[in-house]
Every structure is written in structure tokens, then in C-alpha cells.
Amino acid sequence: MEEEKEVQMGEDLTGKNLLGMSLLSFLFYIVLSLVLIYFLHDGSIWTLFEHGYSIPVQVVVGLGVGVVAALVVMQLSAKSPIADVLNDYALFRVIANTRFSSFDRVQISLFAGAGEEILFRGAIQPIIGIWATSILFIAIHGYFKFTSFGHILFGVMMFALSMLLGILFETTGLISAMIAHAVYDLVMLKNVDKLGR
């Protein structure tokens, strides 16, 4: 019954609904980031962008890391045991049953990449560290399940991806992590129909 609702929800999503959801999510992430930065950081939100390499270097690294990460995750997710368990994740079921336009894929990827990285990597990671931030990030996405080896492997894979974004933020810069996240999401949204069983 729950799965039928998620399938219906995916089928009912329109471009306007998706854009509205993306904007609301992005605004929520930014407001929460601003609150955390105000109370728990020394600088402003703009301070998050001050470290790292130049913007062109961050863009190139982010693009490369995002594409490579997506290709690796796609390869692993298309095979057993991960492919066998993807439909156990509500987020995957909704995405797999949504008809995205090219604009939908781009705007979802950009808003999620920017908003989630500003919040998790920029605002939260400097406070609780990369490990705890990655655990929180994966838990919020609902990727931790321990019912089979495939579920555990999927959770570890997503945790490693989150750690990669955290390392990218620390070594290269926030813009690089944002771009890698957005590119990863874009590639995955374009190819979601090739995953799962």
C-alpha cells in the first residue's frame, strides 16, 4: 500500500510541483544554515566560500568528481546485491516513477547540490566533523538499512559518497562540493531507469 502511494506520488509530480519543492527545500537549507552560522560560526555564510582553490579549479574538480562518482555508483547499483534492494528505498521509488523533463533534472540537481552542501558541508561539518556529518546526511536521506548485505553495501556506498563530498569541501572548497553533488544528482536522475530490478 505504501509503495503504491509512492508510485502514484511520483507519477503525479509536475514540473511546477518539482520546482516549488526544490525552491522550498533550498530556502529551508539556507535558513537553517544561516541560523547555525549565526550561533555557531565566527563568520558569515560568505566565509564558507573563502577557503579552497580558485573558482575555475573548483569548477573543474567538482565536474570531474561528480561525473566519476555517478559512474561508479551507477555501475555498482546496476548489479546484485545493490540492484536487488534499491526498490526498498522510498526516495528511489518516487524518483524512478517520476517523469522528469530536462529542466526538472537540472533545477533539482542545482538546488539540491547548492542547498545541501551549504548546510551539511558548510554549516554543519565544521561543527561536528566529517564523519558525523556524513552519518547525519545519509540518515536523513533514509539510506541506512541493515536488513541484508545489499542494504548495508548501499548504505556504505552512500556514506563513502558523502565522505567524498566532505573531503572535497575541506581540500578544494565549497563550490567544488556543490558542483560535484549537482553533477552526481543530474547524472543519476538521467539514468535512474537503468538501476534496480
Check residue 8 and give its pLDDT: 55
* CA–CA separation, 105 and 41 (whole Å): 33
DSSP string, 7-38: HHHHHH--HHHHHHHHHHHHHHHHHHHHHHHH
The reported pTM is 0.92
Check residue 130 and give its pLDDT: 99
Check residue 115 and give its pLDDT: 98
Residue pair 186/102 in contact by the 8 Å Cβ criterion:
no
Check residue 1 and give its pLDDT: 55
Segments of the chain scoring below 50 in pLDDT: none
Check residue 12 and give its pLDDT: 67
* CA–CA separation, 126 and 129 (whole Å): 6
User: Residue 123's Cα: distance from chain center in Å?
Assistant: 16
Check residue 192 and give its pLDDT: 87
Check residue 27 and give its pLDDT: 98
Q: Is the dihedral of CA 90, 96, 98, 104 positive or negative?
A: positive
Check residue 5 and give its pLDDT: 59
Check residue 2 and give its pLDDT: 61
Helix (H, G, I), strand (E, B) or coil at 145: coil
In the chain, where the domains are located: 2-194
Check residue 194 and give its pLDDT: 82
Which residue, among 196, 197, 170, 164, has the nearest Cα to 183 in the 3D structure? 164
Check residue 151 and give its pLDDT: 96
